[in-house]
Structure 1
């Protein structure tokens, strides 16, 4: 019990060292970890999205040999979002008009795909509102159900139920002949400006009808976007879908959806920052491998006050503040773990110091009590002397409980015990002499 300064201080020192070792180990694991695995959704089989993912993994693993991407196959874009929600992946490819993950935040925008309603040159259909009662062709492919859903939203804006417009899913080469035979009245295709479903659909109709088809403009695109923010207003340049003759024949406004990489809210800022920067930095290489899929890669707009999915704060910090050195990023990482560990070590040291001080105070009180027992025993008689002797034995037992503490404290305790014992012996001898 006595001399308790040594043990708590030693224990506190050991605990503090343990905290520092843990902090150093975390830092070492972060810096020297041989390989990190990032799980990523693949996109639908056969789609441009999957081709982009494959190109991205190839470039990213070459740039960062310690990073390994584990592909998680999903049948469609809705499943991609669900995989992120269920914590099965760390990086998911989504489309803005498909169901969005509730725990997702945007990293980069990969591509904008125009929603094009293509009609033959002499069609009576001049506006999306004229589609009621018509049969519409949609190109067969991995995104056909997503494209059909996009059409449902457009019809809803114009006050039409989805069932008011029938759909036929056709191979692109069959869409032109179907329109020429009036089997279908128009086609809805979703794709980029450049090679893709819209360009191919326009070409199919032009071949079959021997005339240049038209693209319907969305004059009320801004109003549609306000109601359905999964769309965006998109300006297609003259000749964006056919060079000669030009389709469209002038710059026109349509709707578009976008593809984006989304990460979970819980992803560390330093990780999201690194992935986002890597994608932007390798855009040129990705474009060489998959030009159609990668040419439009861009950072999200940090000034957007009402984004469809917020930008991950780790990547937003990079976009706002520019490049950060490794030490700036490592400092953020160490703040997460180092500060709590340091505070924990300080609290443990304070706790043991407080306990040591309390115990030392108790030891001093016990020592003082031994001395006071000795003084009182010198004059006590009878029952009081017996009571003091009992208290003395208990105090001695308490003192001996700390016999493995520091030698200096043991010496002081031993001196107090010997002093009290001599007092009892003297008083006992005096009592015997008096009785004789």
Structure 2
């Protein structure tokens, strides 16, 4: 019984020490660790996405020396979303019209790419419906399949079977000549207002057709967005895609898809806050390294039905303004420290309770030793043998518990054991002496007289 309590007490103390050591180790790792490593997707070598991510990493690591980034090349935005979903990266560049990662949340909007259907100035095509039965040219590149899929969505909206519009994928420089040779009736390019596929495609067509190409507008853009939330209504300003001649020649409403940084739902708030804040504050520096940074913006926190929710850590920054690293860290210390403190307190109470129980059992053992010594003084030989067995059991229990008892308890136990042993020895001696003094019973001789004859 005493051994069981001793072992339990030792295990509780060991658990408390291990618990506190773990808490200390976690705190040390958090504060002493030189940096966190975040994996981020990037496009194929030489692509616009690859150049932008390289610029972002350079600026972000200067602003946050504790954070390091590892670029993870992916084939396209579809693969980028899948990498985040599978836990292979911590930050992914995703596009709104491709399947979104189920575990992702928005950090920042990187840019808006207009969906431009471009026709030569003399073309009779005035809307997307007029493309049925014709061929459309799409620039070759990492996003060509996603761009073709976007066209499918728009054709479905107008109840046109996608296979009724043939696609040819060509280098941008060859799209203008292909249209001039009647190999294609129009071109589809998706890109930003600024350097990119749309501007290059417009220039290619303008050079060959000797006129300003037209950008088809979408009068029902809002209705399309309600049906396909991957798109957004987008106004292209006059001359947005070509200065001389101006393309478009007036503001035109079209559609757009957006690129954004997505991060896992499980990303700590403090990390999401730091990354999102650094992107917004370093926008000017990023623009010096990549023109694509010009459209970076914060997501709309007032949107009640976002396509991909904003990460709460960055949303807190957008709603409440800047918070210092200490403020953010303090929140985590409370979250982690309170359970650790409660756990340590409970362990202390458990150890104290077990110590008190052990001390109580030590007192019971002492009283039992004294009681055995008292009973031995008057016991007969049979009872003395029974008491000796009980004394042996009590002695074993006291020895097992002695390593966890304090010096005072050990001293008391030692005295009680010596006292009991002396009383048993005296009783044995007394019983032996009494047995020797008692005379043995002798048999009386009986004389038998012979019978008379």
TM-score (norm 1): 0.91
Q: For residues 151 and 2 of structure 1, what CA distance do their matches in structure 2 show? A: 81
**Contact 1:2–1:403 (CA under 8 A) maintained in structure 2:** no
Counterpart for residue 347 of structure 1: 346
Q: What whole-Å deviation, never above 9, does each CA across 1:389-410 have from its counterpart, x for those lacking one?
A: 2111221222122333321001
Counterpart for residue 102 of structure 2: 102
Q: Does residue 77 of structure 2 align to residue 77 of structure 1?
A: yes
**Deviation of the 1:304 alpha carbon:** 1.8
**Deviation of the 1:286 alpha carbon:** 0.3
Counterpart for residue 251 of structure 2: 251
Q: Secondary structure at the match of 1:402?
A: helix
Counterpart for residue 328 of structure 1: 327
Counterpart for residue 363 of structure 1: 362
Q: For residues 403 and 357 of structure 1, what CA distance do their matches in structure 2 show? A: 15
**Deviation of the 1:10 alpha carbon:** 8.4
Counterpart for residue 380 of structure 2: 381
Q: What whole-Å deviation, never above 9, does each CA across 1:217-266 have from its counterpart, x for those lacking one?
A: 11222222222221112122233223344333333321111111111222
Q: What whole-Å deviation, never above 9, does each CA across 1:276-325 have from its counterpart, x for those lacking one?
A: 1111111110011112x100111111222222222222212222221111
Q: Secondary structure at the match of 1:225?
A: helix
Counterpart for residue 136 of structure 2: 136
Q: For residues 130 and 118 of structure 2, what CA distance do their matches in structure 1 show? A: 13
Greater alpha carbon shift after TM alignment, 239-248 vs 169-178: 239-248
Q: Does residue 358 of structure 2 align to residue 396 of structure 1?
A: no
Q: Secondary structure at the match of 1:121?
A: coil
**Contact 1:77–1:95 (CA under 8 A) maintained in structure 2:** yes
Correspondence 1:65-214 to 2 at 5 A: 65-214=65-214
**Contact 1:44–1:77 (CA under 8 A) maintained in structure 2:** no
Gaps of 5+ in 2: 438-453
Q: For residues 9 and 389 of structure 1, what CA distance do their matches in structure 2 show? A: 30
Q: Secondary structure at the match of 1:211?
A: coil
**Deviation of the 1:60 alpha carbon:** 1.9
RMSD: 2.6
Q: Secondary structure at the match of 1:195?
A: coil
**Contact 1:138–1:189 (CA under 8 A) maintained in structure 2:** yes
Q: For residues 381 and 104 of structure 1, what CA distance do their matches in structure 2 show? A: 85
Change (3 A) 1:27 1:393: closer
**Contact 1:373–1:420 (CA under 8 A) maintained in structure 2:** yes
Counterpart for residue 442 of structure 2: none
Q: What whole-Å deviation, never above 9, does each CA across 1:160-193 have from its counterpart, x for those lacking one?
A: 2221100111222322232233221111111111
**Deviation of the 1:16 alpha carbon:** 4.5
Q: Secondary structure at the match of 2:188?
A: strand
Q: For residues 209 and 3 of structure 1, what CA distance do their matches in structure 2 show? A: 98
Larger Rg: 2
Greater alpha carbon shift after TM alignment, 394-403 vs 273-282: 394-403
**Deviation of the 1:91 alpha carbon:** 1.4
Counterpart for residue 416 of structure 1: 416
**Deviation of the 1:78 alpha carbon:** 1.2
Greater alpha carbon shift after TM alignment, 12-21 vs 321-330: 12-21
Correspondence 1:245-324 to 2 at 5 A: 245-291=245-291, 293-324=292-323
Q: Report 1 or 2 for greater relative contact order, CA contacts < 8 Å, sequence distance ≥ 6.
A: 1
**Contact 2:362–2:409 (CA under 8 A) maintained in structure 1:** no
**Deviation of the 1:214 alpha carbon:** 1.6
**Deviation of the 1:419 alpha carbon:** 3.2
**Contact 2:6–2:358 (CA under 8 A) maintained in structure 1:** no
**Deviation of the 1:373 alpha carbon:** 2.0
Q: For residues 428 and 322 of structure 1, what CA distance do their matches in structure 2 show? A: 90
**Contact 1:44–1:50 (CA under 8 A) maintained in structure 2:** yes
Q: Secondary structure at the match of 1:188?
A: strand
**Deviation of the 1:427 alpha carbon:** 3.6
Change (3 A) 1:127 1:282: same
Q: For residues 28 and 323 of structure 2, what CA distance do their matches in structure 1 show? A: 20
Q: Secondary structure at the match of 1:256?
A: strand
Q: Does residue 303 of structure 2 align to residue 338 of structure 1?
A: no
Instruction: Say how many residue pairs are matched.
Output: 435
Q: For residues 186 and 363 of structure 2, what CA distance do their matches in structure 1 show? A: 98
